[in-house]
């Protein structure tokens, strides 16, 4: 039977290898009972896990892919299907009570489908107690049960968990492929798509959430202006700019805001450095801001101060992630950038 590339798993960007393994398992109705999906935030782990649950439970699957049209496919699409459950951390951690509840619920056979699927998001936040609580479930699951644990970092998965799961790695998607899909499937403008594909470091989930996100793009403009003003060398202005670095228009936490600002600033100075070193043809992230890059670049007679700026921003980011004071760290950073 003809299978459109854009049905079932074909709708998901990238992850060819993981999809191939799961399509086969779904076609043969022979899934492993425990999977560990490993990959950065935004690479599509949850999306793929849900699609797998859909393919397995679909009433009219097409060569291992969900049909997208039957009652079960619709129910899953509308998040109204009791046999697929996503467990996300409550606050900072996945609580032991959540895992106990999961273990209890596993005793009941699926309600509407053939398979019951638990998707445990951010498995990195399972502490030892919570992980131990589900070991037996991973080892001796009921026939109808599939547990899918999602991890961002391999070191956070306890060996006892890892050894019981089939590991599937989720990789960053090639920028050209991602940009194309952002235009074709999500209606992004070409320039925006090319920027987001690179800025998201090939993580489709992160790119998709930023399409048309005005507050993100106006924040980027603000950060670019800030870099422009920092090169004036005025120390009083530098203190004011540190305040801008920490200020936010939306309801993010102070820490999230300053980390996001530092990330944007880092990408910007890396672009300036690349443009200074490589001139025309440099691989830039902010491709759509080429004129401004040339303008700011021209203020630096050589690459040294730009390389130092990149180092200083990285240093500040690490310090804040390590709980240093955000006001003191950002003020020191902006003074340094102003003096360079």
Nearest in space to 8 (alpha carbons), one of 75, 81, 69: 69
Residue 63 CB, shortest distance to Zn ion, in Å, is 13
Exposed/middle/buried for 236, CB within 10 Å: 0-12, 13-18, 19+?
exposed
Residue 74 CB, shortest distance to Zn ion, in Å, is 8
Backbone CA torsion sign across 79, 82, 83, 84: positive
**Alpha helices, H only, the chain:** 16-27, 45-57, 71-77, 96-105, 128-139, 159-162, 175-186, 190-199, 204-210, 214-230, 235-246, 254-278, 290-297, 304-321, 326-339
Q: What are phi and psi of 146, to 5 degrees?
A: -125, 125
Joined together, the tokens standing for residue 203 give 């993580």
Residue 34 CB, shortest distance to Zn ion, in Å, is 25
Residue 312 CB, shortest distance to Zn ion, in Å, is 54
CB 24 within 8 A of CB 64: yes
Residue 8 CB, shortest distance to Zn ion, in Å, is 9
Angle among Cα 140, 145, 151 to the nearest 5 degrees reads: 85
Residue 114 DSSP class: S
Residue 330 CB, shortest distance to Zn ion, in Å, is 51
Residue 75 CB, shortest distance to Zn ion, in Å, is 10
Q: Which is nearer to Zn ion, 51 or 292 (CB)?
A: 51
d(CA 72, CA 30): 19
Q: Which is nearer to Zn ion, 62 or 180 (CB)?
A: 62
Nearest in space to 147 (alpha carbons), one of 53, 65, 59: 53
Q: Which is nearer to Zn ion, 24 or 74 (CB)?
A: 74
Q: Which is nearer to Zn ion, 66 or 102 (CB)?
A: 66
Q: Which is nearer to Zn ion, 89 or 110 (CB)?
A: 110
Q: Which is nearer to Zn ion, 81 or 269 (CB)?
A: 81
Residue 67 CB, shortest distance to Zn ion, in Å, is 4
Exposed/middle/buried for 319, CB within 10 Å: 0-12, 13-18, 19+?
middle
Q: Which residues bind Zn ion (CB under 5 A)?
A: 58, 66-67, 70, 73
Q: Which is nearer to Zn ion, 38 or 56 (CB)?
A: 56
d(CA 92, CA 79): 24
Residue 62 CB, shortest distance to Zn ion, in Å, is 9
**Which uninterrupted H or E stretch holds 117?**
strand 116-120
Nearest in space to 279 (alpha carbons), one of 293, 266, 267, 289: 293
Q: Which is nearer to Zn ion, 75 or 309 (CB)?
A: 75
């Amino acid at each position: 039977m003809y299978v459109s590339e854009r049905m079932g798993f074909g709708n998901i960007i990238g992850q060819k290898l993981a999809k191939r393994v799961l399509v086969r398992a779904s076609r043969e109705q022979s899934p492993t009972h425990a999977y560990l999906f490993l990959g950065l935030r935004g690479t599509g782990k949850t999306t793929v896990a849900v699609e797998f649950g859909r393919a397995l439970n679909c009433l009219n699957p097409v060569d291992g892919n969900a049909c997208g049209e039957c009652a079960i496919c619709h129910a899953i699409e509308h998040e109204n299907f009791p046999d697929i459950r996503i467990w996300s951390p409550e606050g900072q951690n996945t609580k032991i009570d959540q895992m106990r509840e999961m273990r209890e619920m596993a005793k009941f056979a699926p309600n509407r489908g053939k398979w019951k699927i638990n998707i445990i998001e951010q498995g990195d936040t399972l502490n030892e107690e919570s992980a131990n609580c589900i070991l037996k479930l991973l080892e001796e699951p009921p026939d109808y049960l599939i547990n899918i644990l999602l991890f961002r970092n391999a070191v956070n998965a306890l060996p006892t968990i890892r050894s019981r799961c089939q590991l599937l790695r989720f990789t960053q998607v090639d920028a050209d492929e991602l940009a194309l899909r952002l235009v074709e499937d999500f209606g992004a403008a070409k320039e925006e798509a090319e920027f987001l594909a690179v800025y998201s470091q090939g993580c489709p989930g992160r790119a998709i959430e930023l399409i048309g996100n005005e507050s993100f793009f106006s924040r980027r403009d603000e950060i670019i202006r800030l870099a422009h003003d920092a090169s004036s060398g005025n120390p009083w202005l530098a203190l004011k700019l540190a305040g801008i670095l920490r200020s936010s228009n939306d309801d993010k936490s102070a820490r999230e805001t300053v980390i996001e600002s530092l990330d944007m600033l880092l990408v910007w100075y890396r672009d300036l450095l690349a443009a200074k070193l490589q001139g025309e043809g440099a691989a830039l992230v902010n491709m759509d801001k080429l004129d401004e890059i040339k303008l700011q670049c021209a203020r630096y007679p050589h690459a040294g101060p730009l390389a130092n700026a990149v180092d200083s921003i990285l240093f500040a980011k690490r310090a804040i992630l390590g709980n240093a004071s955000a006001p003191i760290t950002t003020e020191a950073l902006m003074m340094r950038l102003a003096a360079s």
